[in-house]
Amino acid sequence: MARKASLSGFPEWLPEERLIEQHVLDVLRRTFELHGFSSIETRAVETVGDLLRKGEIDKEVYAVSRLQAEEASASEAGLALHYDLTVPFARYVVENAGHLAFPFRRYQIQKCWRGERPQEGRAREFTQADIDVVGDGVLPFRYDIELALTVVEALEALPIPDFTLRVNNRKLAEGFYTAIGLQDTAAVLRSIDKLEKIGPEKVGALLQEELGADDDQVRLALELATIRTPDTSFVERVRALGVAHELLDEGLEELRQVIAEATRRAPGRVVADLSIARGLDYYTGTVYETVLDGHEGLGSICSGGRYDALAHKGSRTFPGVGLSIGVTRLVSRILSQGFASVSRAVPTAVLVALADDDAWSRAQDVATALRQRGIATEVAATAEKFGRQIRFADRRGIPFVWFTDADGTHEVKDIRSGEQHSADPASWSPPAEDVRPVITIA
């Protein structure tokens, strides 16, 4: 793994590391498309006003300006790099609503930027992979269930340890807090969201100091947040707390539906965890967080939720639900822990050797014939001794070297085993496992 960086927080992978990252991206793309999600890409910048209004993380936003500009135009003033893909997607939906078929299913894999203190799992420039479904006016709740199952399928195909998708519902939490007399539910959620970081005693102190909660309110809020079940038994545990509210009932039923279906289709992967709050204010219902089992200190590798009011145009609203996978966070842990390795660092399967410099054009003919059949091939640049050309291939990790004799016959050598035999560039192929670099899961 590349250890040194001239600018911290902006990862740059070595070729073999990049192959593992590409494998992760390919798996995600393939899974998302199997579930009918279309790919889009949005611009890197949004207006500062939109970013801060929707996300409230102004300290993390990178502003953008032209160094040589004497005056910024009105359209250029107040631009910043997006810190996630949900806010850009909401803007994209509003601007393109007349061209989209709803419910619109999209996946988006792009760079994002946040001005954070760099550490493993937290970079300033990072790749996210998002899936969302957005509706026009209404969005059936079943999409909340479908997206959770889609993400579980995608993560199960990656070279990572076991993971747990933890699900809660903001309606459940907000209804509960309102019923016990804590009216500033957004502030309560922000405090509960810190539970794993600072512990229940400090969260309780925050509720008392910042919201004026009494001992009974603190007790109930913390009892709710400690409920975690792998099945729908959380419903009875919440009911046992003796709190009633219409919004609480609605959230309980929605969360019950998610957990019931997940228990049937992905047993052991999805749990109800009533401590999950999600800090961003635009979530209105289901919320998700995902952790690698045994690597909880890394933080959430996949999170998201339902947002009913993030995107609107006049009287039209575009409710949505989505999840975001932290690709860079995942890849950094895969590399640092050796969860996967790659068979070679280059895509090249064959190096065509040169007997002399006049053979270069004929060697290109061989390379072309191999490439036409999907075999990645390079041609040696100079006619050094064959031993040096073989060592060059070995240093690069290229498994086969191709030789053409003066009489026009061909031989190919597997430099790992030393075996060499005649071959025809129009029909020869390497073993299937050598056509492309192979990712091996540790």
Distances (CA, A) of 370 to 355, 366, 402, 407, 430: 19, 6, 11, 20, 10
- Token duo for residue 280: 């961003």
- Express the helix, strand and coil content of the chain in percent, nearest 5 each: 40, 20, 40
| Cα angle, residue 224 at apex, residues 221 and 227 outer, rounded to 5° | 150
Contacts 24+ apart (CB under 8 A), 253-257: 254/141, 254/144, 254/169, 254/171, 254/172, 254/285, 254/286, 255/167, 255/168, 255/169, 255/172, 255/286, 256/232, 257/141, 257/142, 257/144, 257/145
Distances (CA, A) of 300 to 159, 288, 291, 314, 390: 17, 9, 5, 35, 46
Q: Classify 377 as helix, strand or coil.
A: strand
Known binder of ligand: residue 84? yes
Letter string b/e over residues 270-299, b meaning 16 or more CB atoms within 10 A of that residue's CB: bbbbbbbbbebbbbbbbbbbbbbeebeebb
Known binder of ligand: residue 183? no
DSSP notation for 125-189? EEEEEEEEEE-SS---THHHHHHHHHHHHHHHTSS---EEEEEEEHHHHHHHHHHTT---HHHHH
Supply the angle between the helices 185-192 and 215-225 in degrees, to the nearest 10: 60
Known binder of ligand: residue 404? no
Q: Tokens 């109930």 label which residue?
A: 220
| 92 within 8 A of 42, measured Cβ to Cβ | yes
| 435 within 8 A of 349, measured Cβ to Cβ | yes
Tell me phi and psi for residue 303, to 5 degrees: -145, 170
Q: Classify 309 as helix, strand or coil.
A: coil
From CA 207, how far away is CA 215, in angstroms rounded? 10
Letter string b/e over residues 208-246, b meaning 16 or more CB atoms within 10 A of that residue's CB: eeebebeeebbebbbbbbebbbbebebbebbeebebebe
Known binder of ligand: residue 282? yes
Known binder of ligand: residue 283? yes
Binding-site members are 84-86, 114, 128, 132, 278, 282-283
Binding-site members for L-histidine are 84-86, 114, 128, 132, 278, 282-283
